[in-house]
Amino acid sequence: NEIYLAGLGGARPGLPTDLHRLEEAARQGLPEQAFGYVAGAAGSESTARANLAVFDQWKIVPRMLRDVGSRDLGTTVLGTAMPAPVVLGPVGVLRILHPEGELAVARAAAALGVTMTLSTASSTAMEEVAAEAGPRWYQLYWPKDRELAASLIGRAADSGFTALVVTLDTFTLAWRPRDLDQAYLPFLQGIGVQNYFSDPVFQKAIGGPVTDANRDLALLHWVANFGNPTLTWDDLAWLREQWDGPIVLKGIQHPEDARRAVDAGMDGIVVSNHGGRQVNGAIAALDALPAIASAVGGETTVLFDSGIRSGADILKALALGAQAVMIGRPYAYALGLGGEEGVRHVLRCLMADLDLTMALSGHSTLADITPALLSR
Ligand code: FNR
């Protein structure tokens, strides 16, 4: 009501309420490097486009006269209570977009009780983010060095992150022409990946704390070591020993990998292609969801990202088997354009849009949402 009445009354919000228009505003309003960092994807970016287009292949079939006067979007995922099935997904180096970076995002999410997933590639140390955050999960880029991995995981547990989201699809950066065409390292130098730079094991590897004198070395060490291409399913047993809480594997696109995740004792998966940033030509994420949900949906927590831009998108992903969705680019653009307030705006718009779309299509709780509400 607040958003709607303000809009109807002529109090236009500072940022667009439609998230496609928000991207356009970011294209106009952000420095080229910052916009390109967020918008970019692998190769010709055809998978990134397909992630969005695929939502139009599914249509909601609204139902009438079902008493939707009182609605509840609340849910609990991996032990975390949520006001709506919406989680901020991990996005690295957020200070590229705004000087307050991850801290602004943490404050915006905390104000709404929304769960934030902090990237390992955070430009703020995780302890500083935790001090300002509400419900929080930690995303792990599993580095080559096990001692470093154990250190990052231990710090996350000590900082009150309650679930570990392990990203499998990015053990190295993909062929991303927009990144390749930009001079990012000088840009990153001034920002730094403080979450690594503040780590005692990372510091040991580069011979001491990060200073102006060894900043280049620190960045190169980070780039060379953040991922490990030799990992296999057998390595998950080690991870399980390191972390007592739920573990979620992010980047699952094949039903057999979903099955292996369950068999390996993982607590959930994120069906995701990293917003099309890794394998160009890969299956659109929403196209991967139904088969995965039918393979493991009853046995594990299924989350989804890559392409969510509206309440209808969220409803479709839930109907196809996700328990909650993660948001990526939209909140990064909003951070760049409007800082903490911008991120809050995007979350409020998405939750309000989901509430209205659910109600107008005849659903008052998440339990009412089934594949039957969609037609292809
Ligand atoms: C990402 N993503 C990501 N994922 C992750 O596990 N760790 C990370 O550090 C990052 N960093 C990152 C930076 C930027 C700029 C983007 C756009 C994305 C992927 C992210 O979590 C999510 O999977 C995608 O953003 C989903 O796609 P859409 O919805 O943004 O199109």
Measured by CA distance, the residue closest to atom 19 of ligand 1 is 274
DSSP state of 211: -
Which ligand 1 atom is nearest residue 39's CA?
Answer: 17
Q: Two tokens at 154?
A: 């231990």
DSSP collapsed to 3 states, 294-321: HHHCCCCEEEECCCCCCHHHHHHHHHCC
Q: Which residues form ligand 1's pocket by a CB distance below 6 Å?
A: 37-38, 51, 89-92, 119, 121, 139, 167, 250, 272, 274-275, 277, 305-308, 328-329, 332
**What's the 91 CA to ligand 1 centre distance in angstroms?**
5
> What end-to-end distance do the CA atoms of the chain give, in Å?
32
Per-residue pLDDT of the chain (376 residues; tens, 9 = 90+): 888 888 888 876 689 999 999 999 999 999 999 999 999 999 999 999 999 999 999 999 999 999 999 999 999 999 999 999 999 999 999 999 999 999 999 999 999 999 999 999 999 999 999 999 999 999 999 999 999 999 999 999 999 999 999 999 999 989 999 988 887 777 788 899 999 999 999 999 999 999 999 999 999 999 999 999 999 999 999 999 999 999 999 999 999 999 999 999 999 999 999 999 999 999 999 999 999 999 999 999 999 999 999 999 999 999 999 999 999 999 999 999 999 999 999 999 999 999 999 999 999 999 999 999 999 9
Query: What is the C-alpha separation between 238 and 153, in angstroms, rounded?
Result: 12
List the one residue out of 311, 271, 328 whose CA is nearest residue 295: 271
Q: What is the rounded distance in angstroms from the CA atom of residue 321 to the CA atom of residue 340?
A: 31
Cα distance between residue 278 and residue 276, in whole Å: 6
> Distance between CA 70 and CA 67 in Å, rounded?
8
Burial code (b: 16+ CB inside 10 Å, e: under 16) for 184-215 equals beeebeebbbbbbbbbebbbebbeeebeeeeb
Q: Which amino acid type is present at position 113?
A: G
> Ligand 1 atom 18: the closest Cα is on which residue?
91
- What is residue 301's predicted lDDT score, i.e. its pLDDT? 98
> What is the residue whose two structure tokens read 């930009």?
182
Ligand 1 atom nearest 274 alpha carbon: 23
CA neighbours closer than 13 Å in the CB half-sphere of residue 112: 27
Q: For a ligand 1 pocket test, name from 277, 314, 326, 350 the mutation site with the most ligand atoms within 8 angstroms of its C-beta.
A: 277
The catalytic residue positions are 274
Is residue 152 packed enough to be buried (19+ CB in 10 Å), middle (13-18) or exposed (0-12)? buried
| Joined tokens for residue 266 | 């993982």
- What is the 303 CA–ligand 1 centroid distance (Å)? 14
Strands, E assignment, the chain: 59-60, 75-77, 80-82, 86-88, 115-118, 136-140, 164-167, 247-252, 268-271, 301-304, 324-327, 374-375
Give the Å distance between the CA of 74 and the centre of ligand 1.
24
Ligand 1 centroid – CA 68 distance (Å)? 34
Dihedral pair phi/psi, residue 322, rounded to 5°:
-85, 145
The first and second tokens of residue 197, run together, are 């730079």
Read off the tokens for 113. 């009780």
What SS3 class is residue 74?
coil
Q: Rounded to two decimals, what is the model's pTM?
A: 0.98
